[in-house]
Structure 1
């Protein structure tokens, strides 16, 4: 369940940050709308209650100033569809509420109508017919206390009471014992969710979301820059440093990255200089030994010593080439990989080696020609030396170029396939260069291929033997 839930989240930092921002915006907007709607309704109710209280206070004064026989006609003149007035022996407000709008209206009335009983209710529901209230079904007003004479149509309609929505029911006990009853529906204005209100809100949310997405994308752009710089550093330690610009945190990270790159570069240079010095110092005694060997009278011993000295020189040269990592310093150019591989295979075939090529006639890539040729030559030579033959295949996979070298030899055990790439490691235990070499061939090949941003993998060949796959990214379209 936990894994499935996290799969719904965006995979990138930009997506997750944008999701949080958009969710925060929506929650903030929803909260603001709810608070606005509540305050709007409260304000409209307060205004309606204040107006109703003022009108009721005026009606009470008017009703008590006129004679009872004229009271009904006087109240008839004040009756409107949205402000119903009645007069009778019973109150229309049966529930006297002591909170909210009802309490506010009663407090306003009590300040000007001292000594009179006042009942106020906001309970929703149908207006019950009742001739004793002066407001009811079939009787618009009572013509006097206790009278049930019909007048105009009541607010409930001829078929009975109906819900009238939010309304104030106010009953005031007059001095003569009768009740002045008022039914004042509350006008809460137009519905809040109408295009005139929703459209600007949605447009504002969309604009703010777009601005937030652009800001997040701009803020997370340094992540991509650091990723590209780290990948470039893995291929070329001499790559140009990062630009130390942007916010303070980005500048600090760029400075730390540049310091790290400088330390790595100095370490590689120091190692190369040390090995170059050792190689130079060893050449002098090797030259002296070679001269002395030439004066040896024993031809057999002289030949053996000269062979050993040649092997020492070859090992020193190979070690120095590996330490210098010439593949990283050679410039990249556009070259035809298919022509290069075919030429190498044809040269070996002319020398009598069992070697074949299968693939396209042309495939252009961007690479360092000398380093790439040396790496592929090491792999093909190993296939011929240890497997007796080399079948070379060139193919593509997306934008990658793949060079596959297969042989029919004993192969390499799975547990040793990573170890053979270490310098000076040889599975063949003899020290003969004809069978074991210096142990640097695969190390030099992988260093050159990785300097191109690719890699070398080893696997079993179906039917026996070894399959070596070289991947080169960034193939030309």
Structure 2
């Protein structure tokens, strides 16, 4: 896997659903890991406590057996009780030199003192030397010492009467319970020393059973299954919780295309209901604003028609033919401006219903009309392309773009393509183009470039504004760009649905 792909996988999610789901999953994993760690810690403590209590009970029984057995027979008795998993020794010295007064050792000592009152008891849970012949145990860390020699060559214990002078009567029974066979202890162990009535020491090495490993299929499988189920439930809940965001986004896009779209349903949690209500109030205010603007312009247009008509009548009485023609041309331009302004304000594209139409056939028909007028035109694209659109508004937008190409570029080269989920209609001309800093300004209402759009060419400065408004009402857009070989290219994009 390449570093770029790794960075892409490790990138913070870009959606609310992804981020919320990631946080929930990470929090779930962290909480489960913490719970498992606490459970394992408590489990180990419980196992150690159980092991310590069992060891204390067994040591108590060994003390009773040792003191009730004659010293001559004590060695054989203890030897039979010595096992690889529970070492027993009897000697003149304790195996525990430094007693511990905390933790598990203190717990075991307190348990022993309950049944062995008055005796000296030493307990340690730390690893340390097991001792030699004077402790009755051999080796370190729970391993019997054999001096690296085979069992038959190991040094025998001194015979009775030849041992140390400080040995108690019956010193022959102080020899290790099993000198010639190795003992293996695995894991942590308790070292316990109890002073007997005759002054000798009973030494025990009791291993602490760590228990069966926690990470086994019987434990891990239900844990993983629970994690998967909880994660899936969390993802479903997060998806349901974030669904209103998608609904609001779709409503906002729909509002940008159709200001008269139906309002949002006020359902869901309280916060979602409040947001939906606020969105509906905003949409209602926008609708009222558009209606008020349209009514105002319609009133102005109606009021201006009367004086324009009077001026036209008066212009007919002017004797100078040239002045009369100029005045009538100005009045006609005023009427055209008023009509265009009113059409732009009404935004007819948003109210016209959508219909199934053949865009390729429409464009080719419009180009044939221009060719009949002697305009050079060309078309590249499919013979048929059926889409759902508002016919009048779409035809008006394309007509405005073609009109600009013919007026200011001398010809119209049209291309129609589809791909990437959208339809692209390009219109090329051979004109002077547009300065880069004016590419967006030309879409503003009543804006005209003085160098190329003079009063002699006509126009009100609303053609591109009306065209873009109509295309955006379809969910598309119009962009302009200068061609490298000269001229201007207008690109009309529509969603392919």
Q: Same fold (TM over 0.5)?
A: yes
Q: CA RMSD in A?
A: 2.5
Measure, in 2, the Cα distance between the counterparts of 1:451 and 1:150.
100
Asked if the contact 2:257/2:473 (under 8 Å) is kept, the reply is yes
Measure, in 1, the Cα distance between the counterparts of 2:157 and 2:399.
113
Cα shift at 1:300: 4.1
Structure 2: unaligned runs, 5 residues or longer: 1-6, 139-143, 145-150, 161-169
Structure 1: unaligned runs, 5 residues or longer: none
Q: Deviations over 1:383-439 (max 9, x none)?
A: 111111111111123121111111111111111221111111111379975414111
Which of 462, 478, 486 in structure 2 is aligned with 1:456?
478
Asked if the contact 1:430/1:436 (under 8 Å) is kept, the reply is no
Matching of residues 136-175 of structure 1 within 5 Å: 136=138, 137=144, 144-145=170-171, 149=175, 152=178, 156-157=182-183, 162-175=184-197
Matching of residues 358-377 of structure 1 within 5 Å: 358-377=380-399
What is the count of residue pairs matched by the alignment? 467
Which of 374, 382, 396 in structure 2 is aligned with 1:352?
374
Does residue 383 (structure 1) correspond to residue 405 (structure 2)? The answer is: yes
Give the TM-score of the pair, scaled to structure 2: 0.88
Q: Deviations over 1:123-177 (max 9, x none)?
A: 247x7462222233469999943656565466744xxxx5531222111111211
SS in 1 for 2:457: coil
Does residue 213 (structure 1) correspond to residue 235 (structure 2)? The answer is: yes
Q: Determine the structure 1 residue equivalent to 2:134.
A: 132
Q: Deviations over 1:304-363 (max 9, x none)?
A: 333322222111111110110111111111211111111000110011112221211111
Q: Determine the structure 1 residue equivalent to 2:284.
A: 262
- Residues 54 and 155 of structure 1: is their aligned pair in 2 closer, same or farther, counting only changes over 3 Å? farther
Asked if the contact 1:407/1:467 (under 8 Å) is kept, the reply is yes
SS in 1 for 2:90: strand
Q: Determine the structure 1 residue equivalent to 2:343.
A: 321
Measure, in 1, the Cα distance between the counterparts of 2:276 and 2:100.
70
Q: Determine the structure 2 residue equivalent to 1:252.
A: 274
Moved more, 181-190 or 382-391: 181-190
Does residue 305 (structure 1) correspond to residue 327 (structure 2)? The answer is: yes
Asked if the contact 1:135/1:141 (under 8 Å) is kept, the reply is no
Which of 114, 117, 132 in structure 1 is aligned with 2:120?
117
Asked if the contact 2:79/2:178 (under 8 Å) is kept, the reply is no
Matching of residues 51-450 of structure 1 within 5 Å: 51-124=54-127, 128=130, 130-136=132-138, 137=144, 144-145=170-171, 149=175, 152=178, 156-157=182-183, 162-428=184-450, 434-450=456-472
- Residues 151 and 40 of structure 1: is their aligned pair in 2 closer, same or farther, counting only changes over 3 Å? closer
Measure, in 2, the Cα distance between the counterparts of 1:66 and 1:357.
118
Measure, in 1, the Cα distance between the counterparts of 2:452 and 2:45.
97
Q: Deviations over 1:266-303 (max 9, x none)?
A: 00000000001111111222223333334445444443
Q: Determine the structure 1 residue equivalent to 2:141.
A: none
Give the TM-score of the pair, scaled to structure 1: 0.91
SS in 2 for 1:111: helix
SS in 1 for 2:215: coil
Asked if the contact 1:145/1:178 (under 8 Å) is kept, the reply is no
Asked if the contact 1:168/1:183 (under 8 Å) is kept, the reply is yes
SS in 2 for 1:239: coil
Cα shift at 1:34: 0.9
- Residues 32 and 145 of structure 1: is their aligned pair in 2 closer, same or farther, counting only changes over 3 Å? farther
Asked if the contact 2:71/2:173 (under 8 Å) is kept, the reply is no
SS in 1 for 2:171: coil
- Residues 67 and 107 of structure 1: is their aligned pair in 2 closer, same or farther, counting only changes over 3 Å? same
Measure, in 2, the Cα distance between the counterparts of 1:331 and 1:390.
29
Measure, in 2, the Cα distance between the counterparts of 1:368 and 1:337.
11
Measure, in 1, the Cα distance between the counterparts of 2:203 and 2:35.
39
- Residues 150 and 47 of structure 1: is their aligned pair in 2 closer, same or farther, counting only changes over 3 Å? closer
Cα shift at 1:467: 1.0
Q: Determine the structure 1 residue equivalent to 2:22.
A: 19
